[in-house]
Amino acid sequence: MAAPCNEDPAKLEFSLLVPFPSAREATIALQSLSPDREPRKGGISKELSILGSAMSVKWTADEARILRVSVGSFLDHLALVLETMEEFGPPLTLIHRK
């Protein structure tokens, strides 16, 4: 939800929770999605973390316009990572455990 940020009421906050079958898959997605920095220099920041077997993403932004672009492109990237995991997964370590 886009809502005023707790720490700085002038900023917008957006949070996303993406469930995965296990923490392993959530970690793979996080490590695939986190290396590239935001293209613009200021005005937006994004934090990715693992919560149980889910990936949590939190944005804080100065303007809704910038937030929309960043969230939109993140969701596109996420969809590609999920599709890749579906077609070329499951992760090796999970197969071994079975």
Binding residues (CB under 8 A) for another protein: these are: 28-29, 31-37, 39, 76-77, 80-81, 83-85, 87-93
By beta-carbon proximity to another protein, the closer residue of 4 and 21 is 21
Rounded to an integer, what distance in angstroms lies between the CA atom of residue 27 and that of residue 86?
Answer: 15
Rounded to an integer, what distance in angstroms lies between the CA atom of residue 67 and that of residue 12?
Answer: 8
Q: How far is the CB of 4 from another protein (least distance, A)?
A: 30
Q: Is the separation of the CB atoms in 91 and 32 below 8 Å? A: no
Q: How far is the CB of 73 from another protein (least distance, A)?
A: 8
By beta-carbon proximity to another protein, the closer residue of 9 and 35 is 35
By beta-carbon proximity to another protein, the closer residue of 1 and 95 is 95
Q: How far is the CB of 33 from another protein (least distance, A)?
A: 7
By beta-carbon proximity to another protein, the closer residue of 26 and 67 is 26
Measuring CA to CA, which residue among 2, 1, 53, 59 is closest to residue 30?
A: 53
Q: Is the peptide bond before 90 cis (omega within 30 degrees of 0)?
A: yes
Q: Is the separation of the CB atoms in 48 and 20 below 8 Å? A: no
